[in-house]
Amino acid sequence: MYRYVLEGRKELRGEINIQGAKNSALPILAATLVVNGESVIHNCPVLTDVEASVRILRYLGCRIKREGTTIIVDSSNILRDDIPAELMREMRSSVIFLGALLSRTGHARISLPGGCDLGPRPIDLHLKALRKMGVVINEFRGNIDCMVTDGIEGCQVALGFPSVGATENIILSAVMAKGTTIITNAAAEPEIVDLCDFLNSCGAKITTGESGTIIIDGVDSLHGAQHSIIPDRIVAATYMSAVAVSTGRVTLHNIIPSHLSSIIPVFEESGCNVQTNGLDLTITAPRKLRSLRLIRTMPYPGFPTDAQPPLMAMATQADGTTVFVENIFENRYKHVGELIRLGAKISVEGKVAVIEGPTELYGADVYAQDLRGAAALVVAGLAAEGKTTVYGVEYLERGYEEFDVGLSLLGASIRKI
């Protein structure tokens, strides 16, 4: 089991390239299954969740080549339509293979997915939509057997909540369906648009509307294409939090400013100076941070739930009261107890967390329990006096590519042991 050992209170300076987005790479790798041929995916981050996707693709019969951050998937010969439980359990996103397998083979046998424990994560919206599209689904003891008897049928799907995963599964199922599928109240995250862009470059006919509507005209087949994954907006937000608590100045390369439209104003509110120039963003931290006031997590373009934990660590260093309202996941405050162990003053009631700042944090041993919570503990460790050891680095490595190396390059004292 790996851990990070940090000595806090070092100023961060310099520049860093932001990796490709995990939440784009995973559905796009699943989408390569629908393509009959070779897909070349550039800017794939090197992460354990990406490795898990590659393992699933290999199991199903795809041939995979890697050249740096490029993954080449040849899906000409699909041999299987099932995914064993041990592969499904590795990550939540394995559920996206459901739609991809159905489109490609007309059959999918999977078990319930694993992933970070952020409270109950049902897939009822996925299954309800698939049933409407003519998929016959049998569920038994955590296994799901899906079959298409007479082709997937395009239809109108109104999502009760703009679920990212359900939207992706519907898109992947509909891309070669008979007729047109219209998803209303669809998720509008940049990663959804990236998936549609990849599929369109393979010959799909998908239109993403402003008002949460996605229209998919089924096509007969998809051909291989090249695609570059968009930058990871959550990793960018995490580095920004790290800079904010370290009174530094850092330029992030390879970001898309519009994807950070709900995040940048929060940093400005706290007194950070944020300048964007093309695909670069420079953040300069003030000597004293101001409170972040009220942050409500919402579906895109609202403030992303994945950025809540690292920004909460930042809020412990800000002058005044910051309030978070977590609207997406029921149990996404597991990092709070560990932040308190470092000296933070945080109270939680239901979906509301109240942070009183600024507090002096002191190094301690802390244990991560999920991906973004782990990032929060690293940000807090950077702000803390003395040595902090963050256990549970395996969570971090599901989403952050060599985070220790990146922070070290910027001047942090951090080692992976």
Q: What angle in degrees, to the nearest 10, is found between the helix axes of 22-31 and 97-105?
A: 20
For ligand UD1, the binding residue among 28, 98, 164, 202 (CB under 6 A) is 164
Contact 95/113 with Cβ under 8 angstroms?
yes
Q: Give the C-alpha separation, 250 to 315, whole Å.
A: 19
For ligand UD1, the binding residue among 126, 259, 334, 398 (CB under 6 A) is 126
Asked if 26 touches ligand UD1 (CB under 6 A), the answer is yes
Phi, psi of 44 (to 5 degrees): -80, 125
Asked if 93 touches ligand UD1 (CB under 6 A), the answer is yes
Asked if 328 touches ligand UD1 (CB under 6 A), the answer is yes
For ligand UD1, the binding residue among 81, 232, 306, 401 (CB under 6 A) is 306
For ligand UD1, the binding residue among 97, 324, 329, 403 (CB under 6 A) is 329
- Taking CB under 6 A as the binding criterion, the range among 8-16, 119-127, 136-144, 389-397 that sits at the site for ligand UD1 is 119-127
Angle at 334 between CA 331 and CA 335, to 5 degrees: 140
Angle at 24 between CA 23 and CA 30, to 5 degrees: 100
Q: Which residues are catalytic?
A: 116
Q: Give the C-alpha separation, 392 to 370, whole Å.
A: 8
Max CA pair span of the chain: 65
Phi, psi of 26 (to 5 degrees): -65, -50
- Taking CB under 6 A as the binding criterion, the range among 76-84, 120-128, 235-243, 259-267 that sits at the site for ligand UD1 is 120-128
Contact 282/268 with Cβ under 8 angstroms?
no
Min CB(103)–ligand UD1 separation in Å: 18
Rg, C-alpha atoms of the chain: 21
- Taking CB under 6 A as the binding criterion, the range among 62-70, 159-167, 276-284, 384-392 that sits at the site for ligand UD1 is 159-167
For ligand UD1, the binding residue among 16, 72, 130, 166 (CB under 6 A) is 166
Q: Give the C-alpha separation, 243 to 272, whole Å.
A: 9
Min CB(39)–ligand UD1 separation in Å: 19
Per-residue interface string for the shown chain with ligand UD1, residues 172-201, x marking contact by CB under 6 A = -------------------x----------
Q: Is the dihedral of CA 96, 101, 106, 108 positive or negative?
A: negative
For ligand UD1, the binding residue among 31, 123, 244, 407 (CB under 6 A) is 123
For ligand UD1, the binding residue among 158, 161, 253, 301 (CB under 6 A) is 161
Asked if 19 touches ligand UD1 (CB under 6 A), the answer is no
> What is the token pair recorded at 175?
């891309």
N-to-C CA span, the chain = 9
Min CB(26)–ligand UD1 separation in Å: 5
Helix (H, G, I), strand (E, B) or coil at 196: helix
Angle at 152 between CA 151 and CA 157, to 5 degrees: 160
Asked if 308 touches ligand UD1 (CB under 6 A), the answer is no
Min CB(96)–ligand UD1 separation in Å: 8
Tell me which residues in 242-301 interact with ligand UD1 (CB under 6 A).
none
Q: Give the C-alpha separation, 148 to 340, whole Å.
A: 51
Q: Which residue is nearest to ligand UD1 (CB)?
A: 165
* Residues at the site binding ligand UD1, with contacts judged by CB under 6 A: 23, 26, 92-93, 120-126, 161, 163-166, 191, 305-306, 328-329
